Amino acid sequence: MAAGARAPGSKPVRGRSIRASSRCMNATTDRRSPPCALVIFGASGDLTARKLLPALARLAGYGALPTEVTLVGVARTPMTDDEFADRCRRSVSGDGPPRWEDLTAAARYVSGDYDDPATYQRLSEVLAECDQRNGTAGNRVYYFATPPRLFGPIAVSLGKAGLSVPAGDSFIRAVIEKPFGWDETSARELYAELSSAFVEDQIFRIDHYLAKETVQNLLALRFANSIFEPIWNRTWVDNVQITVAETLGVGERGGFYETTGAMRDIVQNHVLQVLSLFLMEPPTSFHSEAIRDEKVKLLRAIRPLDEEAEIAANAVRGQYTRGGTREDLMPGYRDEPGVDPLSATETFVAMRLEVQNWRWTGVPVYVRTGKRLPARLTEVAMQFHRPPQLPLFPGTAEGLEPDALIVRVQPDEGLSLRFGAKVPGHAFRVQKASMDFSYESFEEQSPDAYERVILDALIGDPTLFIRADEVARSWRIVDPVMQYWAGGGRPIPLYQAATWGPSEADALIARDGRRWRHSA
């Protein structure tokens, strides 16, 4: 790490990073899938084309998918095996590695309605053929890449068709995309439907944020070092800020987003998962259950905002309107395709949460997410208490931001420690400087989040997947706020595209005498 001073108003001067040395292999080179049929429901859909197939092509390139792994697509669109193979190849730019060519050439496809028993009968026959011809050994991973309303019915149908119970030593797993339900009640209903076919150990609920390299680095940062632990508590930390900011609007996903909104799309899952990893107690081991136990304990320590007045004071929503520059004018949310022109769906959320446990009581956790904000940026920042005697540096240090440890999840993945340093010269002036670590300093490339979740599901490592109790507890935190907003009352606050959200969000944190790390 190296330090660099910063002139007021300028960007932080990043010091030269020390080349990180690592004896670890690339995470994927020493991990291989066992024999398995990977069945993708929603095989003709957008998620499959954009994320799953490119991730599979890369995994094939690393040698992580042996010849006993077979791809089986299921969807309503009629297609032959060859047409599906073609579609797979077209989803990947350029020539895939030789193993990808083999994998697609051997791919199978089943078309049919998801509620038609004949679809599952056909799937059962295809899977039996895969076991016989390709050696998939009765192992199956079902990847639910369909619209969420189909998750339950597909699971129930798999159960009825006898396709969810593993025989002998084989395994069967169900990988479920988010959102897992729309609130606590519907999440429990979905769980009941899934449970008619699968036991909890078979269910892998995805949150692709957990598979981001920098999010996993939170574990290394906290538990592979001894210097941070002593300051990781209310004695040293003044507040925590978690930001998930996107520059994009909802684009073509207006119809989906209308039923979701930023709270369900980002806060209930990505934000609360990152928050719980960052603030949880040290797990007793790195076993998946030990980590997930600590995460759920942390989520239980977050006090849900129950009273209306409390919600009004601690949760802010917003929706973007037309904005940007004359050259780059961005439409408002209500003008996006598929969006109700009178929509009250939130595209922005800011909240002040409290973690009520021995370590964090009294440390506010401010979370903020939004679409059409001025920067694409996800970070977790811990701001430390100010020094007790700022008057030692009269007139120079009062306006300084507090010292902070910032985990940059994306982009420019890395870590910064911000602190005050003397500006060279005769006057005693203090400015903020920064010690930076960048992931670019590693020779190894970070695997894409989807590569990791697919390989983990094939291998059977549930650490980066969300357990049922975590899901229920996360809904318990956001549900009262969603209900309060749905109840009407004040109209939704608006913010112009390419700004940092409505003024109410600034007021929320200003009330505590603090400000967002990024604001206008």
CB of 376 to ligand BG6, least distance (A): 8
Nearer to ligand BG6, 265 or 346 (CB): 265
Residues shown for the chain? 520
Radius of gyration of the chain (CA): 24
Q: Which residue has the tokens 């899952």?
A: 269
Q: Among candidates 324, 398, 352, which has minimal Cα distance to 242?
A: 352
Nearer to ligand BG6, 246 or 294 (CB): 246
Footprint (CB under 6 A) of ligand BG6, residues 40-99: none
385 is known to lie in a ligand binding site: no
CB of 89 to ligand BG6, least distance (A): 25
Any contact of residue 265 with ligand BG6 (CB under 6 A)? yes
Q: How far apart are CA 465 and CA 422, in angstroms?
A: 45
Contact partners, residue 227, CB within 8 Å, separation at least 6 = none
Phi, psi of 199 (to 5 degrees): -90, 165
82 is known to lie in a ligand binding site: no
CB of 246 to ligand BG6, least distance (A): 6
Q: Which residues of 8-17 are buried (b: 16+ CB within 10 A; e: fewer)?
A: eeeeeebbeb
Q: How far apart are CA 419 and CA 72, in angstroms?
A: 53
Size of residue set near ligand BG6 by CB under 6 A = 3
Answer whether 96's CB lies under 8 Å from 60's CB. yes
246 is known to lie in a ligand binding site: yes
Q: Which residue's CB comes closest to ligand BG6? A: 265
Catalytic residue at 270?
Answer: yes
User: Within a 10 A sphere around the Cβ of 74, how many other Cβ atoms?
Assistant: 27
Nearer to ligand BG6, 213 or 294 (CB): 213
Nearer to ligand BG6, 265 or 403 (CB): 265
CB of 272 to ligand BG6, least distance (A): 13
User: Applying CB under 6 A, which of residues 131, 213, 238, 246 lies at the interface with ligand BG6?
Assistant: 246
287 is known to lie in a ligand binding site: no
Nearer to ligand BG6, 119 or 378 (CB): 378
Contact partners, residue 272, CB within 8 Å, separation at least 6 = 299, 302, 474, 477, 478
User: Within a 10 A sphere around the Cβ of 88, how many other Cβ atoms?
Assistant: 27
CB of 410 to ligand BG6, least distance (A): 6
User: E strands within 411-445?
Assistant: 414-423, 429-438
518 is known to lie in a ligand binding site: no
Name the catalytic one among 270, 385, 426, 518.
270
Answer whether 99's CB lies under 8 Å from 61's CB. yes
Nearer to ligand BG6, 146 or 378 (CB): 378
CB of 265 to ligand BG6, least distance (A): 5
SS (H, E, C) 459-478: HCCCCCEECHHHHHHHHHHH
Footprint (CB under 6 A) of ligand BG6, residues 363-402: 378
Going by their DSSP bridges, the two strands 36-41 and 315-321 should be labelled as unpaired
Site string for ligand BG6, 334-353 (x = CB under 6 A): --------------------
User: Within a 10 A sphere around the Cβ of 424, how many other Cβ atoms?
Assistant: 8
Six token digits for residue 103: 């994998």
Answer whether 33's CB lies under 8 Å from 132's CB. no
**Active-site residue set:** 270
Binding-site residues from annotation:
76, 178, 208, 212, 246, 265, 371
Residues placed in the known binding site for NADP(+):
76, 178
Q: Which residues bind ligand BG6 (CB under 6 A)?
A: 246, 265, 378
Please give the annotated binding residues for substrate, written as ranges. 208, 212, 246, 265, 371
